[in-house]
Amino acid sequence: MSIKRQVLRAEVQEMILDRLTQGQWRPGARLSIDGLARDLEVSPTPVREALVALERSGLIRYQALKGYVVAEPLTGEQIGELIDARIVLEVAALTRAFRDWDALVAELRETHARHQALAEQILAGEDPDYDLIHQYFLADSDFHEALFTHADNHFLSAMRETLSSHVHRMRQTWSEGAEQIDAAEAIAEHAAILARVEERNHDGALQALRGHLEAVRDRSGGERAPETA
Look up the CATH number of the domain holding residue 185. Answer: 1.20.120.530
Q: Is it the case that residue 179 has pLDDT exceeding 70?
A: no
pLDDT digits (tens, 9 = 90+) for 154-174: 999 999 988 886 776 666 555
Last residue of a domain, one of 24, 51, 70: 70
Total domain count, the chain: 2
229 found inside a domain: no
pLDDT for 1: 47
pLDDT digits (tens, 9 = 90+) for 102-147: 999 999 999 999 999 999 988 887 766 777 877 888 899 999 999 9
Instruction: Looking at the chain, list the stretches that DSSP marks H as alpha helix, in order from N- to C-terminal side.
Output: 3-21, 33-40, 44-57, 76-97, 101-124, 130-151, 154-171, 183-198, 202-219
Q: Which of 222, 96, 79, 78 minimizes the C-alpha distance to 155?
A: 96
pLDDT for 6: 63
Q: What is the pTM of this model?
A: 0.79
Same domain for 99 and 195: yes
pLDDT for 178: 45
Last residue of a domain, one of 54, 70, 86: 70
pLDDT band at 75 (very low <50, low <70, confident <90, very high): confident
pLDDT for 95: 96
Same domain for 210 and 98: yes
Same domain for 109 and 27: no
Same domain for 92 and 60: no
Enclosing domain of residue 85: 76-219
pLDDT digits (tens, 9 = 90+) for 2-57: 555 666 888 998 889 878 876 678 888 999 999 999 999 999 999 999 999 888 77
| Calpha distance 121→225 (Å, rounded) | 35
- At 28 the three-state DSSP class reads coil
Cα 185–Cα 188–Cα 189 angle in degrees, nearest 5: 85
The whole-number average pLDDT for the span 186-192 is 97
Last residue of a domain, one of 35, 70, 105: 70
Same domain for 85 and 29: no
**Strand order in 60-63's β-sheet?**
30-31, 67-70, 60-63
Question: Which CATH number characterizes residue 24's domain?
Answer: 1.10.10.10
133 found inside a domain: yes
Same domain for 176 and 139: yes
